Amino acid sequence: QVQLVESGGGLVQAGGSLRLSCAASGRTFSSYAMGWFRQAPGKEREFVAAISWSGSNTYYADSVKGRFTISRDNAKNTVYLQMNSLKPEDTAVYYCARHLNPMSMVLTSHQISYAYWGQGTQVTVSS
């Protein structure tokens, strides 16, 4: 069973930065693309960013492009989300997720393509 544990959330002022981490269990982490999603109060969960299994390709939602950076360290079984220039509208619970299929070459924003999800970490950006 795959377990994903997010950390690094918190309260930050607008314009500030946070770095989220997602630690994965298991020995196959490096074979799977990973994604970050978020859910704001009263809204549906939405895609934020994805990274290929090798780390060579990334994909971002338009709302975070240029401000957020997804990366991974396969030796540590961890994926990161560096968030800069945070805005109040970035306030949400952030979730990491592992892609359904190993070695997939397609990065997707579709939640149905992700098989495992973490419990989430709260990010609150004050104005």
Over the stretch 4-50, which tens digit does the pLDDT of each residue have? Answer: 999 999 999 999 999 999 999 988 999 999 999 999 999 999 999 99
Q: Angle at the Cα of 70 (from 45 to 112), degrees rounded to 5?
A: 35
Instruction: Kindly report the backbone phi and psi dihedral angles of residue 98, in degrees, each rounded to the nearest multiple of 5, phi listed first.
Output: -105, 135
- CA distances to 3, 35, 106 from 20, in Å: 16, 12, 23
Q: Which of 81, 82, 78, 83 is nearest to 98 (CA)?
A: 78
Residue 105 confidence class, pLDDT cut points 50, 70, 90: confident
3 state DSSP class of 30: helix
Digit-coded pLDDT (tens) for 59-104: 999 999 999 999 999 999 999 999 999 999 999 999 999 999 998 8
